[in-house]
Structure formats: structure tokens, C-alpha cells
A = this chain, B = another copy of it.
Amino acid sequence: MELQLSTWPEIETYLKRSRLIVIPIGSMEQHGPTGLIGTDFICPEVIARKASKASDVMVGPTFNVGVAQHHMSFAGSICLRPSTMIAVMNDWTNALAHHGFNKLVWLNGHGGNIATINAAFAEYYHQRNYAADGIHKNVRCILRNWWDLRGIADLCARLYPEGHGQHATISEVAVTYFCHPELSKTEELSPKIAPKHEPFTDADDYRRKYPDGRIGSDPSLARAKDGALIIETATLSLAEELKTLNSES
């Protein structure tokens, strides 16, 4: 059940049986010469929607732009300031809490979002600590990175013994190729496996160290059929987690 594809009476009905919602959250940023700008929202979106069907838990709209300052020297990347993202996430959280949702699982597709998502949670709870009334006191914000879902790390290690990487990873590219097979690219990149392990600061520094955008990966190995497997595994794990959350008081 998708919030954006529901009517308000349907959501009202849903809220009588559950107060849980899962929100895909991603980024709009370069993913190497062959990866899609939208990779980081496409992955959690497809997983969350499939898990929603498997668990009868509502999935919210996708939060599609995040904190991607270090990718800004590659065309097409879009970035929120962390302070902006905190404000937006609080607006969403206040709205959903207002309607009665009390467990918000943010299914994240971008490592660079993690810090700001946690900061946004703290900002929300801080405001709540001082609130006079008690109505939203039991809202719980939960961050889940899709690559941390049970089974994913093992699966990726098995599928990609080499070159899985840290950015524009084979697995995330494979997931997007499954969703958009016509966009699959299998050309070999140079170097085959991108450099890694160099700390970076801003966008220029990042591009200097990672000239084609990838970190440690060889996405030429990404195949749609493996993407399907990854999605299936992630969906099962997430659906299970959501059912457990739903059954908790």
C-alpha cells in the first residue's frame, strides 16, 4: 500500500490497524560512468515497495534528494545542505505524526545521508522533549540502510568476490539495471576497479581522487538478474522486520 496512491479514507482505515510506515530515502548523485544519477533512491524505493506488498505495511513517498556535496563536481548531482535536510525531514515527521503514524522506518540508499538522518532524528526528539503536550510522545524514528538488511552482505560477497566497491557498487548498479534493463551498460571501465581508501573533503577534492566518480568498484559486472536476486533478498528481510515492528506495541 502506497501512501501516494491511496485516498485519505484508505489511509484512515490503515491507521486503525497499523501506525507503521516505511519511507524510501535516497540521493541524486553521480554513480560513475555507467550508473544512474538516481541509483540511491531507486534501490530503497523498489525494495520498500515490494516489502510493503509482502507485509501490508504502508510505504510513503520517496525522499529523493539528500546530502551529496562531495559529488557536486559531476554533472547532474543535486545536494541539500544538511541543515535544509533536517528541516525537511522534520516537516515530514511532524506531518506523519500528526496523522497518527508512530513508527517511521527510513529505508536509506545513500551512505552520505546517514549522519544527517541521525541528526534530524535528534532534532525531532529534542523539540519533543520540551513540548508541553504528550500527543506525539511515542513516535519512533528508525534508520535502515538497505545494504545492511539481513542477507545482503553475504549475497554480495558471494556474487562479487572482487570489485564490489564503496560507491557505484556493483550491487546497487545491478538493482537499478533490473528496474531499468534498457539502461544496462556492460562496457569495461578504466581502471577496471576504481581507486579507494582516499579520504576526501569537498567536491573538487573528491573528483581529484576519484576521477570517474566510482570508489573501489567495477560496475561492469552489474547484471539485472543479480539485481533481481538482491531485491528479493532485501525484500524478504525488510518485510520480516516490518512485520515484527508492526507486532510490537
Contacts and interface: CB of A to CB of B under 8 A. Distances in A.
Interface in A31-89: 31-38, 41-42, 60-62, 64-65, 67, 69-70, 72-84, 86-88
Interface stretch (A91-99, A225-233, A235-243): A91-99
B36 A4 contact: yes
A6 B202 contact: no
Given A36-B6, A95-B78, A183-B5, A129 B72 contact: yes
A79 B130 CA distance: 12
A75 B99 contact: yes
A27 to B, nearest CB: 10
A64 B98 CA distance: 19
Interface in A188-216: 199, 201-204, 213
A199 B144 CA distance: 13
Nearest to A78: B95
Contact of A11 (B69, B76, B122): B76
Contacts of A142: 199
A133 interface: yes
A157 interface: no
Interface string A1-26: 01111111101100100000000000
Nearest to A62: B64
| Copy total for this chain | 6
A112 interface: yes
Contacts of A201: 125, 139-141
A100 interface: yes
Contact of A204 (B7, B38, B70, B137): B137
Given A31-B7, A67-B119, A82-B120, A75 B15 contact: yes
A114 interface: yes
A125 B203 contact: yes
B5 A38 contact: yes
Interface in A104-135: 112, 114-120, 122-123, 125-133, 135
Contacts of A131: 132
A70 B125 contact: yes
Which 3 A-B pairs give the minimum distances between C-beta atoms? A4-B38, A115-B118, A82-B119
Given A79-B95, A84-B87, 10 more contacts: A5-B38, A6-B37, A11-B75, A69-B129, A77-B99, A78-B91, A78-B92, A78-B95, A82-B122, A125-B202
